[in-house]
Amino acid sequence: MRHITCQRFKLGLLVLGVLLTLWLLASLAVASWLTRRLQPPFPEPVPAADWGKFETHRLKTCDAQEIGAWLIVGAGDAPSVLLIHGIGTSRSACLSRARMLAAEGLLGAHDLTADAWRLHGRLQRHGL
């Protein structure tokens, strides 16, 4: 009877090892899928707009990456606004919202629209 218990214990360890390996592989696949670049880096020229003055900037992160940003200079007495695009888009996706804020007089003196999501737009990725 002790021999059967030892065999079941070994089988249980084998099943547990296989399940742990499958879980780790699935986690690796999901992490890789969530952090991949959806499209290759592309230039985003500063748009010509009559409702604000655009300046191009590169924001440096603590891990030596650079994130592209546009500083939009608007009215001096309006509040500042940070516009961040959604996943799978770029700074250009924020232009319609920035135009709407400018039309309402809500675009401040130093408003920023940035490629804040890593692996989007012109963000550099060292080592790739």
> Quick one: pLDDT at residue 128?
38
What is the per-residue pLDDT across 99-115, written as a single tens digit (0 to 9) for each?
A: 888 888 777 655 556 55
Residues 29 and 54 in one domain: no
Task: Please give the average per-residue pLDDT across 57-75, as a whole number.
Answer: 80
Query: What range defines the domain where residue 60 resides?
Result: 40-128
The average confidence (pLDDT) of the chain is: 78
Question: Domain total for the chain?
Answer: 2
Report the length, in residues, of the chain: 128
Q: Which residue has the higher pLDDT, 91 or 15?
A: 15
Task: Please give the average per-residue pLDDT across 9-33, as a whole number.
Answer: 95
Residue 53 main-chain phi, psi, to 5 deg: -100, 125
> Quick one: pLDDT at residue 126?
45
CATH number, domain containing residue 63:
3.40.50.1820
Is pLDDT above 60 for 120? no
Sequence-distant (≥ 6) Cβ neighbours of residue 23 within 8 angstroms = none
Residues 56 and 117 in one domain: yes
Residues 110 and 128 in one domain: yes
What is the per-residue pLDDT across 69-88, written as a single tens digit (0 to 9) for each?
A: 888 877 677 777 888 887 77
> Quick one: pLDDT at residue 127?
41
Is pLDDT above 60 for 125? no
The Cα-based distances of 121 to 57, 68, 114 in angstroms read 13, 8, 10
> Quick one: pLDDT at residue 49?
82
CA–CA separation, 85 and 91 (whole Å): 6
Residues 80 and 115 in one domain: yes
